[in-house]
Amino acid sequence: MARRSLKLAGREIEEPEDGDAAAVELISLSDIVGYALRRAQMAVFEDFGRRFAALNLSPAQYSTLATIGDNPGRKQSEISAALGIQRPNFVVLMDELERRGLAERTRSGDDRRSNALALTASGVELLKRARALQGEQEAAVEAILGGEERKTLVAALRKLAREI
């Protein structure tokens, strides 16, 4: 089939042939860090969702459990700030972790405005299983990129987040 001329928005262009359906070119976007970041993050988070479906943990919930585990007794506002989560949003996140018996808030004796956070025994146990799943994802990434480039990637991403 011959290409047909088509007038769009006042300019003549070539109408793509039938069967070109899969060939839309992202040439302007293919070398842009921001766009590559978005697509990679979508893909990795979808993979995370599949792996963590059985534990019913979102990325935000997992990173919260892990950070409380690493820093027990810290104030709620310190944990949320370290994770870059707004305080009001972190409240509902903690509500859910507490409702599920994975983490606890304790009114601090030091400063009775603040909550000290900690994992419950059940939270510690779930976190252990979650870390194993996370390790599997990291291994999958390493199988794709290789160990050296995985390290380089993480370092570049951290530097970018810090300095841009």
- For the chain, what is the radius of gyration of the CA atoms? 23
- CB neighbour burial string for 75-97, b if at least 16 within 10 angstroms, e if fewer: bbeebbeeeebeeeebeebbeeb
Q: Which of 63, 67, 71, 114 binds DNA (CB under 7 A)?
A: 114
Which partner from the list DNA, a second copy, none does 58 bind, CB cut-off 5 to 8 Å by kind?
DNA
- Chain Cα centroid distance, residue 149: 19
Cβ 89 to a second copy shortest distance, Å = 14
Q: Among residues 10 and 84, whose Cβ is nearest to DNA?
A: 84
Rounded distance between C-alpha atoms, residue 15 and residue 4, angstroms: 6
- 66-95 footprint of DNA as x/- string (CB under 7 A): ---------xxx--x----xxxxx-xx-xx
134 binds DNA (CB under 7 A): no
**In this structure, what are the phi and psi dihedrals at residue 96, rounded to the nearest 5 degrees?**
-70, -40
Rounded distance between C-alpha atoms, residue 57 and residue 43, angstroms: 17
- 15-54 footprint of a second copy as x/- string (CB under 8 A): xx----x--xxxxxxxxxxxxxxxxxxxxxx-xx------
Q: Which of residues 59-98 bind a second copy (CB under 8 A)?
A: 59, 63, 66-67, 69-75, 78-79, 81-84
- 18-57 footprint of DNA as x/- string (CB under 7 A): --------------------x---x---------------
125 binds a second copy (CB under 8 A): no
Rounded distance between C-alpha atoms, residue 65 and residue 103, angstroms: 8
DSSP SS3 for 91:
helix
